[in-house]
Amino acid sequence: MKSLLTLALLTSALLLGGCAHVSRVDAGPLTAFGEPLEQPDQYLYYLVRIDNRGRPPDALPPLAIRFPDADRPIGLDALTPSVTARYLPAFVPPPQWPATWKEKASRQTAFEGGGIYVGFEAQGPGFIALCSHCHGGRHSPVLCTADGSVCHQLPVTYEGLVELIGPPDRVQKVREVTY
């Protein structure tokens, strides 16, 4: 009986210790991560990634970014290096990166600032990330529908995220955010 109780306690500890606390939402090339940042019963999505690398520009979701100094949101499909450079500085790799990563980054056209990262491929935006709670800082990036009629500042609730992207392809709980 004692060994059965020990087994039950050990199993419970393992199951509870491995609980997933991060919500991952996937919708085409878009992935969003959320956690209960301020209230334990509500997930807030603080990281939205759009990985369009190797895909045609028309595979981008119909969304827009409101850059801090822009008059209006700019559609993802309208992003070019020259447009993006008006609002964001060129990406500079962190000093702690290995030399090989820095060298690779120097060959890419990318911009970063205010919780927004935009990296380009030859055919257009390849990787876009908006993050409100990353790298120890707090930012307020704004994601909008393509026409700019609906905008939400990150972190955003699940309902707000669905208002922007529509019903997701998949929602799952994961243990960590993957970058």
**pLDDT tens for each residue of 89-103:** 999 998 999 999 999
CB atoms closer than 10 angstroms to residue 60: 22
Sign of CA dihedral 9, 10, 13, 16: negative
pTM for this model (two decimals): 0.83
For residues 140 and 155, what is the distance between their CA atoms, to the nearest angstrom?
8
CA 95 – CA 107 distance, rounded (Å): 17
Ramachandran sector of residue 124 (left: φ over 0; alpha: ψ -120 to 50; beta: rest): left
Tokens of 48: 């939205």
Two tokens, residue 96: 């702690």
According to DSSP, the β-strands at 156-157 and 44-51 are antiparallel
Amino acid at 13: A
pLDDT tens for residues 46-59? 999 999 998 988 88
Residue 1's pLDDT is 39
